[in-house]
Amino acid sequence: MLRIFPLFTYAVFIALFALTPLAVFAQDAATLRAQIDAKNREIAALEKEIAAFQTQINQTQNAAKTLQNAIRALDLTRQKLSADISVTQKKIDATTLTILSLGDQIVDKETSIGRQEAGLGEALRNLYEHDRTSTAAALLAHESLGDFWADQEDILIVNQEMRERVKDLTALRDTLAENKRSTEAEKAKLTDYQRQLQDQRALAEANKREKDKLLRETKNNEATYKALLAEKSAKRDAFLREISNYEAQLRLIIDPSSYPKAGKGILGWPLSNVSITQYFGNTEFAQSGAYNGKGHNGIDLRASVGTKVFSAGSGIVKATGNTDNKAGCYSYGQWVMIDHPNGLTTLYSHLSLINVSEGQTVARGSLIGYAGATGYATGPHLHFSVFATQGVRVVTYNPSSATNCRGVKMPVADLRAYLNPLSYL
C-alpha cells in the first residue's frame, strides 16, 4: 500500500519546522534592536544640542561686531561641529547594527527556505513514485474509492501549500536582501558624511587658530579690534572701486538667447536651509555706499562656518581660487565657479573649504564646499552669484590700478552679465 499518509505527515512537519523561530536568533535580534534604539535616543539628544548651538551662533552673528562676540562665535561653532561629528558617528553605529540585524534575518529566512525546498523535493519524489503506479494498482492498494481520492487530495494540498510557503519566503528573502543593500548604501553615505564632518572639524580647529591669531593681534583689546575692522573695510572699499571700474570697461559679447529666461527651479538652492540676508541689486546696504554704487552682485545667505554648500545645477567646475592667498586682498576669499550647460554660470564665495577641483563634473546638489567667512565678510555667510556664461571670465587680476589684489586669480564679469539669482531659483 502506498505511503501517502506518512508523506503528508512528513511535509507538514517540514513546514512547521521552517516556521519555528530559533531562540538564539530571537535573543540576538532583541539585543540588536535595543542597541539601535539606544543609539537613536543619543542621536535625538545630540541633535537638540546642535540646534541650541545654532540658535546661539545666529544670535551672536546678529549682535554687535565686537571682539568678544567674534571669539564667542568661533567657540560656539567649534562646539557645534564637534557635536555634529558625534551625531554622525552614532548614526553610522546604528546603521551598522541594522545591517547586522538584517543579515541575520536573511540567513534565517534562507535556512527556512532550504528546509521548505528539501521537504518539497521529498514530496515531489514520492509523488513521482506515486505517478509511476498505475491507476488500477493505486485503486487496489486502497480499501475504498473514497480513501483513494482522499489521499490524492491530501497530496495536492501539501504540494500547493509548500509551494506557496516557499514563494512567500523567497519574496521575503528578496525584500530583506534589498533592505540590506539599501542600508549598506546608506551606511556608505553616512561614512562619506563622516568624512565631510572630519573636514568641518578641521575647519573648527582652523577657526580656533584664527581665534588665537585674533587674540595675538588685538591683545584682547576691543579698540585694537575695531581698528583692524576699519582697516579691512577701507581696503575692501578700495578694491570695490577698482573692480567696478575694471568691469565697467569690459565689453564682452553677450547674446541674451544664450541663457534661459527667468523661471522658477532652473537652479537649485545652494544650501539646505535658506535665509536671505541681502538681496541682489540696489539694496539698502548698497545705497549706504557699499559696492561703489553698483549694487550687490549676488545674494547673501545665512550660513555658519562648516555649513555644506551644494552645486545649484549640473555642470563643470570652471575654476576655484582663494583671494586670501594675497595678504590684504579682501575680496571673495575661497570661491568656486561652475559653468552650467544652459548658459548660466554660478559663483560660491567666502567658503571655508573647497571640495572640488577645476575641470570636475558635478551634479545638481553635489557637495562643493563649506560656508565660511574668508575674504571680506562681516560674518560667516555664502555669497551666491549668477552670470550669463558668455560675460564672465576668470583672470589674474593685474590692471594698472590694482593695489591690494594685484596678481590674484579671481572672476570678473561684464556688468551686463550679472543676473538676479532669485530669477532662476
**pLDDT, tens only, 49-101:** 988 988 898 888 778 788 888 888 888 988 888 888 888 888 888 888 888 88
Q: Give me the CATH code for the 221-423 domain, please.
A: 2.70.70.10
Give residue 423's pLDDT.
95
Give residue 380's pLDDT.
87
Query: Nearest 5°: phi and psi at 16?
Result: -65, -40
Element (H, E) at 348: strand 344-354
pLDDT > 60? residue 356 = yes
- Is 142 or 385 the better-scoring residue by pLDDT? 385
pLDDT > 50? residue 5 = no
CB-neighbour burial class of residue 363 (10 A; exposed 0-12, middle 13-18, buried 19+): exposed
Kindly state the percentage of the chain with pLDDT values over 90. Answer: 34
Distance CA 270, CA 146 (A): 78
Residue type, 253: I
Residue 148 to residues 1, 11, 157, 276: CA-CA distances in angstroms? 11, 19, 15, 83
Mean pLDDT of 175-191: 81
Please state whether the predicted TM-score (pTM) of the whole model is above 0.85: no
Give residue 77's pLDDT.
86
Question: Which of 156-165, 175-184, 397-406 has the highest mean predicted lDDT (pLDDT)?
Answer: 397-406
Q: Are 300 and 348 in contact (CB under 8 A)?
A: no
At 259, is the pLDDT very low, low, confident or very high (cuts 50, 70, 90)?
Answer: very high
Find, among 93, 53, 391, the residue nearest to 247 by Cα: 391
Give residue 11's pLDDT.
44
Half-sphere exposure for 318 (CA within 13 Å, toward CB): 24
At 135, is the pLDDT very low, low, confident or very high (cuts 50, 70, 90)?
Answer: low
Judged by average pLDDT, the poorest of 212-221, 256-265, 317-326 is 212-221
Residue type, 386: V
pLDDT > 60? residue 395 = yes
Distance CA 365, CA 335 (A): 17
Give residue 387's pLDDT.
97
- Is 336 or 217 the better-scoring residue by pLDDT? 336
Distance CA 70, CA 124 (A): 80
Q: Tell me how many helices (H) and strands (E) the chain has.
A: 7, 12
Give Cβ neighbours of residue 131 (< 8 Å, ≥ 6 apart): none
- Is 175 or 353 the better-scoring residue by pLDDT? 353
3-state DSSP assignment of residue 332: coil
pLDDT > 60? residue 13 = no
User: Cα torsion for 340, 341, 342, 345, to the nearest 10°?
Assistant: 20
Residue 249's CB: how many other CB atoms inside 10 A? 10
CA 134 and chain centroid, separation: 68
At 143, is the pLDDT very low, low, confident or very high (cuts 50, 70, 90)?
Answer: low
pLDDT tens profile 199-254: 877 887 887 788 888 888 888 899 998 998 888 888 888 888 888 888 888 889 99
Give residue 321's pLDDT.
96
Give residue 8's pLDDT.
45
Question: Which of 38-42, 153-157, 334-338, 380-384 has the highest mean predicted lDDT (pLDDT)?
Answer: 334-338
CB-neighbour burial class of residue 16 (10 A; exposed 0-12, middle 13-18, buried 19+): exposed
Give residue 328's pLDDT.
83
Distance CA 221, CA 408 (A): 32
Three cell numbers written together for 190 = 553616512
Distance CA 99, CA 182 (A): 9
Q: Are 319 and 394 in contact (CB under 8 A)?
A: yes
Three cell numbers written together for 67 = 571682539
Give Cβ neighbours of residue 417 (< 8 Å, ≥ 6 apart): 252, 254, 387, 388, 390, 391, 392
Mean pLDDT of the chain: 81
Give residue 269's pLDDT.
98
3-state DSSP assignment of residue 190: helix
At 378, is the pLDDT very low, low, confident or very high (cuts 50, 70, 90)?
Answer: confident
At 272, is the pLDDT very low, low, confident or very high (cuts 50, 70, 90)?
Answer: very high
Query: Between β-strands 299-302 and 381-388, what pairing exists: parallel, antiparallel or unpaired?
Result: antiparallel
- In the chain, CATH 2.70.70.10 covers 221-423
Residue 71's CB: how many other CB atoms inside 10 A? 18
CA 44 and chain centroid, separation: 19
Q: Are 346 and 388 in contact (CB under 8 A)?
A: no
At 17, is the pLDDT very low, low, confident or very high (cuts 50, 70, 90)?
Answer: very low
Mean pLDDT of 362-371: 96
Judged by average pLDDT, the poorest of 130-144, 194-208, 365-379 is 130-144
The owner of cell 535580534 is 29
Q: Are 331 and 337 in contact (CB under 8 A)?
A: no
Give residue 318's pLDDT.
97
Give residue 70's pLDDT.
84
Three cell numbers written together for 132 = 509511476
Distance CA 337, CA 407 (A): 19
Q: Return the percent helix, strand and coil in the chain, to nearest 5.
A: 60, 15, 25
Give residue 131's pLDDT.
56
Give residue 261's pLDDT.
95
pLDDT > 50? residue 18 = no
Distance CA 236, CA 383 (A): 15
pLDDT > 70? residue 289 = no
pLDDT > 70? residue 12 = no
Query: Nearest 5°: phi and psi at 263?
Result: -170, 145
3-state DSSP assignment of residue 297: coil
Give residue 126's pLDDT.
64
Give residue 399's pLDDT.
86
